[in-house]
Amino acid sequence: MQTLLDVILPVFLVIGSGYLAVWRGLFPVAGVDGVLRFAQSFAVPCLLFQAISTLDLGAAFDARLLISFYCGASVCFALGMVGARVLFKRDWEDCVAIGFCCLFSNSVLLGLPISERAYGADALSGNYMIIAMHSPFCYGLGITVMEIVRNRGKARGDTVRAITSAMFHNPLVIAIALGFAVNLGGIGLPLVVNDALSLIVRAALPAALFALGGVLIQYRPEGDMKAIAMVCCITLLLHPAIVWTMGTGLGVPQDLFRAGVLTAAMAPGFNAYIFANMYGRGKRVAASSVLISTAASIVTVWIWLEVLS
């Protein structure tokens, strides 16, 4: 439990500082919007580009791990979307944003440090395997479904063009694609460019978390607690349970199996709010789900660590 507190508490302190700064009038709401824009359009894309461009994509590749993890993520996305529609009568656009919260685990900010502390730095190949595909898969699925929903009733060609336009105008997707191009092409970036990227990357997570705390002032969870509870149950309990079941059936090696289950047990990442903010739908549910599920994960991740031991 102390290990989880050591990892998760700093995250909460940064989120809390953003919340407190806006609440007490020390930082303007317009300033939070600017910080969020910087994180969403510049800093986080630089983080994704640098991480993917330097990953060893061929190390310890195992399709069984990816199948079990991403089948589970896709099922959770569908259940979150359908649950929001059937149980809470939300608009389809809101349903997709809520489903995305159930899809996108916090594989980097929480998954990596918790896995490293639990199993050591030499047992992270499964985590990196998941991370290499995480943003491309999740954003590809989320944007495709959202554009289909937004363009329902229009000609198929219009829908395809809308999906293509959304994908190739999204800074995160562009950064991911460029990262893969540099990685697979063996392109070496000049040292000065790497140093400049590193300066921006250092600000990415603190800026994103500070902005999340600030926007929570605007999107309080009143009236959405049932939807938030659904997201928490799906992400913290159902996703790792599916990965456990499929990983056992497929015979995933132990180190990779533990990486898959533990990553699936992470709370939704900040990208869940970025996606909701990008489309202006389900923002209150997304912001509150990130905060509340991260708090709840102190207990649920501890349980999964005990089960995996």
Work out the pLDDT band at 157, boundaries 50, 70, 90.
low
- How many Å from the N-terminal Cα to the C-terminal Cα in the chain? 14
Cα–Cα distance for residue pair 21/35, rounded to 1 Å: 13
- Check residue 155 and give its pLDDT: 62
Q: Each residue of 121-130: pLDDT tens digit?
A: 778 788 888 8
Cα–Cα distance for residue pair 239/263, rounded to 1 Å: 9
Task: Give me Rg for the CA atoms of the chain.
Answer: 19
Spelled out in words, what is the top-level CATH class assigned to the domain 2-308? mainly alpha
Lowest mean pLDDT among 70-79, 158-167, 193-202: 158-167
Cα separation values, 231 from 55, 84, 142, 188, Å: 30, 9, 16, 41
Q: What is the mean pLDDT of residues 83-102?
A: 95
What SS3 state is found at 63?
helix
Q: Each residue of 41-77: pLDDT tens digit?
A: 898 889 888 878 887 766 657 899 999 999 999 999 9
- Element containing residue 113 per DSSP (H, E): helix 112-119
Other residues' Cβ atoms within 10 Å of the Cβ of residue 258: 22
> The tokens 């509150």 sit on which residue?
288
Q: Where are the domains of the chain?
A: 2-308
Q: Rounded to two decimals, what is the model's pTM?
A: 0.80
Which has the closest alpha carbon to 129: 103, 107, 109? 107
Cα–Cα distance for residue pair 206/136, rounded to 1 Å: 23
Q: Each residue of 7-27: pLDDT tens digit?
A: 677 877 888 899 899 999 999
